């Protein structure tokens, strides 16, 4: 059991009739909005430790992960402290997962189909504890956040190019978008009415991708970024069309790409100094088991965009939430 149903109910009471909190501040935009819970699905950007309980190398429950978390404890979050999910809600996400079913097969993690089944189990348990009417109320008023495309591009299409020999970029993107739309439809059938989908990030600018494919100068890989941008354009269009066909529902496209590119291009504006390397080890290749207790870490991770060669530092998670949350609230409410 990855998440306690008690936690879901606790979140319901914590969020009901109060404003949404993140970092050390309260966002006043939600003073008049009741949010029973924020429930997340997808990959490592939203994984709060679910991979700790499965047999995979894609884990982060060891030092130096979590060095800035409570008591410096590694919990399975793929960062130095809090992850994006900590600022949003409870999570069914699994680091290394993706929309493409072959992605979690390669990484041996929890696919979206299983995350959906887990969610169904909790709906059943909520029904038994609070009753059908209360459960439907919780589900319809909760916010659902999905982030699941990064590993599809980085792993299945680029690093282990299983899909690249089968599909060109437009065809693969079309498949991913359809899978994303199908997942939104599935959680909508279960009662979700306020759904937000994160776009793909600039995969070509991940430190590990700069190292593997960015040449001697470790530049951002334009081909990867162009592929993600095409996916984002297609996803945004299809989600807008889907929303028009789902009655009494809001489906929001959350731009993950451009906020990160703004930080990469103007780091000092955000109090950052290093955007092309992670804090862990050399910063160019270390991620999951390669970022371990033997890896030296940077002196000040608050100056780094990335914690390891793929994942954001806690500071950047906070920056991202500050940037996108107002627009997300407006789009869903």
The answer to whether residue 12 scores a pLDDT higher than 60 is no
User: Three-state DSSP class for 19?
Assistant: coil
Q: Is 94 a catalytic residue?
A: no
| Rounded CA separation 205/230 (Å) | 16
Cβ neighbors of 233 (< 8 A, separation 6 or more) are none
CA 113 to chain centre: 16
**pLDDT reported for residue 83:** 92
Q: Which tokens sit at 92?
A: 């069914």
Instruction: Tell whether the torsion through CA atoms of 31, 33, 39 and 42 is positive or negative.
Output: negative
The answer to whether residue 221 scores a pLDDT higher than 50 is yes
The answer to whether residue 151 scores a pLDDT higher than 90 is yes
**pLDDT reported for residue 22:** 33
The answer to whether residue 309 scores a pLDDT higher than 50 is yes
Percent of the chain with pLDDT over 90: 82
Instruction: Tell whether the torsion through CA atoms of 87, 227, 239 and 118 is positive or negative.
Output: negative
CATH of the domain at 42: 3.40.50
Give the residue among 163, 242, 159, 168 at the shortest CA–CA distance from 203. Answer: 159
Cβ count near 200 (within 10 Å): 25
The answer to whether residue 39 scores a pLDDT higher than 50 is yes
Start-to-end CA distance of the chain, whole Å, equals 33
Cα atoms in the Cβ-side hemisphere of radius 13 Å centred on 48: 17
The residues facing 194 across adjacent strands are 143, 250
**pLDDT reported for residue 13:** 37
Q: Is residue 86 part of a domain?
A: yes
Q: Which member of 43, 100, 311, 313 is catalytic?
A: 311
The answer to whether residue 8 scores a pLDDT higher than 80 is no
| Rounded CA separation 171/177 (Å) | 10
| Rounded CA separation 180/266 (Å) | 31
| Rounded CA separation 173/196 (Å) | 19
Confidence of residue 333 (pLDDT cuts 50, 70, 90): confident
Q: Which tokens sit at 109?
A: 């993690």
| Rounded CA separation 288/265 (Å) | 26
| Rounded CA separation 18/38 (Å) | 13
Confidence of residue 31 (pLDDT cuts 50, 70, 90): low
Q: Which member of 100, 276, 301, 308 is catalytic?
A: 308
More confident residue, 20 or 36: 36
Q: Which tokens sit at 305?
A: 């965009």
Average of per-residue pLDDT values in the chain: 90
Q: Is residue 273 part of a domain?
A: no
270-284 tens-digit pLDDT: 999 999 999 999 999
Q: Is 299 a catalytic residue?
A: no
Confidence of residue 189 (pLDDT cuts 50, 70, 90): very high
Q: Is residue 246 part of a domain?
A: yes
Q: Is residue 215 part of a domain?
A: yes
User: Three-state DSSP class for 166?
Assistant: coil
Contact 12, 136 (CB under 8 A): no
Q: Which member of 44, 142, 158, 313 is catalytic?
A: 44
Q: Is 311 a catalytic residue?
A: yes
| Number of domain units in the chain | 1
| Rounded CA separation 268/172 (Å) | 36
**pLDDT reported for residue 17:** 29
Percent of the chain with pLDDT over 70: 90
- Calculate mean pLDDT across residues 285-308: 97
Q: Where are the alpha helices (DSSP H) in the chain?
A: 5-15, 84-88, 102-107, 112-130, 132-141, 150-151, 169-189, 207-213, 222-245, 257-265, 314-332
The answer to whether residue 33 scores a pLDDT higher than 90 is no
The answer to whether residue 80 scores a pLDDT higher than 60 is yes
- Structural domain for 86, as ranges: 5-258
User: Three-state DSSP class for 299?
Assistant: coil
Q: Is residue 50 part of a domain?
A: yes
Q: Which tokens sit at 175?
A: 């498949």
């Amino acid at each position: 059991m990855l998440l306690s149903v008690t936690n879901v109910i606790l979140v319901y009471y914590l969020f009901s009739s109060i404003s949404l909190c993140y970092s050390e501040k309260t966002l006043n935009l939600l003073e008049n909005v009741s949010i029973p819970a924020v429930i997340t699905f997808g990959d490592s950007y939203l994984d709060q430790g679910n991979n700790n309980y499965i047999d995979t190398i894609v884990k982060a429950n060891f030092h130096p992960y979590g060095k800035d978390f409570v008591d410096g404890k590694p919990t399975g979050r793929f960062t130095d402290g809090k992850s994006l999910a900590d600022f949003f809600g409870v999570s069914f996400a699994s680091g290394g997962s993706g929309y493409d079913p072959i992605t979690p097969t390669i990484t041996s993690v929890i696919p979206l189909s299983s995350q959906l089944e887990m969610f169904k189990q909790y709906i059943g348990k909520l029904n038994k504890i609070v009753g059908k009417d209360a459960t439907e109320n919780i589900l319809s008023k909760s916010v659902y956040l999905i982030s699941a495309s990064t590993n599809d591009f980085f792993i299945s299409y680029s690093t282990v190019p299983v899909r690249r020999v089968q599909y060109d970029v437009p065809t693969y993107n079309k498949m991913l978008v359809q899978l994303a739309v199908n997942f939104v439809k599935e959680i909508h059938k279960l009662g979700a009415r306020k759904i937000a989908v994160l776009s793909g990030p600039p995969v070509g600018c991940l430190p590990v991708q700069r190292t593997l494919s960015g040449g001697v100068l470790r530049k951002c890989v334009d081909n990867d970024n162009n592929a993600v941008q095409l996916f984002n354009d297609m996803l945004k269009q299809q989600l807008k069309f889907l929303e028009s066909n789902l009655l009494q529902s809001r489906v929001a496209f959350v731009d993950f790409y451009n906020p990160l590119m703004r930080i990469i291009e103007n780091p000092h504006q955000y109090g950052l100094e290093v955007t092309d390397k992670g804090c862990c080890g050399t910063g160019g290749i270390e991620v999951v088991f390669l970022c371990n207790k033997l890896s030296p870490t940077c002196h000040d991770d608050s100056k780094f965009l990335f914690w390891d060669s793929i994942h954001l530092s806690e500071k950047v998670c906070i920056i991202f939430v500050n940037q996108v949350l107002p627009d997300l609230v407006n789009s869903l409410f």
